[in-house]
Amino acid sequence: MKAILLAGGKGTRLRPLTIHTPKPIVPIFDRAFLHYQIDLLKQVPEIDEVILSLNYQPRRIEEIFGDGGGTGVRIRYVVEPAPLGTGGAIRYAAQGVSDTIVVFNGDVMTSVDVHRVVQMHRERGAMATIVLTPVDDPAAYGLVETDPDGAVKRFLEKPSADEITCDTINAGIYVLETDTFDRIPKDVSYSIERGYFPSLIERGEPFFAYVDRGYWIDIGTPEKYVQVHRDMFDGKFPAGSLAGADLTQPIVAPDARIDDGARLEPACFVDSGAHIKAGAVIGRYSVIGRGAVVEEHAQVNGSIIWPNTRLGEHAVIENAILGRNCHVGRNCLVREGAVLGNKTLLTDYTKT
């Protein structure tokens, strides 16, 4: 059995962070985002290979994951010749595969039990199974309506108030049978949501929904990227380095350097090789990346600092995201909501 991760997007909503860092490898704490999806797929013992469907900066992703030896599952790479949409990318990546396939959209963090989804798919004899997640504001999304037996009836794009009959949306996780892929046109952009799924409904083929009410978030915007870190700090999605951690204490890598007089306020995270100097304050919900340096009396509040960034003396970073290898000068102020791309240089006393 194979899995396909649709990881070819350019991550435009996360720019400037994704100009030099493809979205699949943006760090969530100390791990590339795709690691969390691969961990979920490893729940399914039958999956013997994960296929990464790539388009944007594929070498950067391959440099991190290689053949999958460090993840516990074999990884293969397929690079789209051009953007093919969700349906086209799935068909292109599935060439030569005849078994059931699990598909993940490349921006979903979730606690779904993938093994159970696959079991239900097989128990129902489904041609396709889609995972749905409930939302608080159904009018803001395209909804997926099912019958009492769980069969998918229709897709509603941004419904009006009187059209809302459910609160479930597409969670971006599918189990599909490859013998249905002949209806997906080759080598053209094609949407699985707007083309393939409606074709199953029109033909009356067995197409079921698995409603998961556990954790789910699309990390594709700066706001959601920050939110997933805060949710993990709050214990809503224990995974990676935070799984089993005491969240009432600062989480500090064994080889991080914390000088006397520095103050760390839980919950916060300091990665390997980082150096927090005397008088510096690392506030709640802050993440200090690998090899980052926080100079004397600098303050980091609710912010995510990527690896190898240096914050100067008395700098203040408030609820912001700073990319890799940034240099923030002395007495700088980075205000709430700021997003600085890799290698940004702020000279002393700059205010953003």
- Contact of 285 with 230, CB cutoff 8 Å: yes
Residue 162 burial (10 A CB sphere; 0-12, 13-18, 19+)? exposed
Tokens in use for 76? 């293969």
Q: Which domain holds residue 129?
A: 2-218
- Which of 106, 258, 90 minimizes the C-alpha distance to 183? 90
Percent of the chain at pLDDT exceeding 90: 50
pLDDT at residue 162 is higher than 70: no
pLDDT band at 224 (very low <50, low <70, confident <90, very high): very high
Residue 233 lies inside a defined structural domain of this protein: no
Q: Say what the pLDDT of residue 140 is.
A: 66
pTM: 0.88
**Mean pLDDT score of the chain:** 89
Give me the amino acid identity at 72.
G
Q: How far is CA 208 from CA 55, 71, 80, 115, in A?
A: 30, 31, 29, 16
Give the Cα separation of 280 and 260 in Å (integer): 10
Do 210 and 255 lie in a common domain? no
Do 341 and 280 lie in a common domain? yes
Give the Cα separation of 166 and 147 in Å (integer): 11
Domain count, the chain: 2
Do 98 and 58 lie in a common domain? yes
Summarised one tens digit per residue, pLDDT across range 228-274 is 999 999 988 888 778 888 889 999 999 999 999 999 999 999 999 99
Do 255 and 311 lie in a common domain? yes
Give the Cα separation of 126 and 114 in Å (integer): 15
Summarised one tens digit per residue, pLDDT across range 284-336 is 999 999 999 999 999 999 999 999 999 999 999 999 999 999 999 999 999 99
Tokens in use for 321? 């995201």
Residue 65: how many CA atoms within 13 Å on its side-chain side?
Answer: 28
Q: Hey, which residues does 113 pair with through a beta bridge?
A: none
- Contact of 114 with 173, CB cutoff 8 Å: yes
- CATH number, domain containing residue 289: 2.160.10.10
Q: Say what the pLDDT of residue 160 is.
A: 65
- CATH number, domain containing residue 33: 3.90.550.10
pLDDT at residue 172 is higher than 80: yes
pLDDT at residue 196 is higher than 80: yes
Residue 130 lies inside a defined structural domain of this protein: yes
Give exposure, 6-25, as e/b (b: 16+ Cβ within 10 Å): bbbbebebbeebbeebbbbb
Q: Say what the pLDDT of residue 159 is.
A: 63
Summarised one tens digit per residue, pLDDT across range 34-62 is 889 988 898 888 898 999 988 777 788 88
Residue 241 lies inside a defined structural domain of this protein: no
CA 220 to chain CA mean position, Å: 7
Cis peptide before 134 (omega within 30 of 0): no
Do 152 and 22 lie in a common domain? yes
Residue 240 lies inside a defined structural domain of this protein: no
Residue 234 lies inside a defined structural domain of this protein: no
Residue scoring higher pLDDT (240 or 79) = 79
Residue 225 lies inside a defined structural domain of this protein: no
Query: Tokens 């070819």 identify what position?
Result: 8
Give the Cα separation of 152 and 175 in Å (integer): 14
DSSP state letter for 221: S
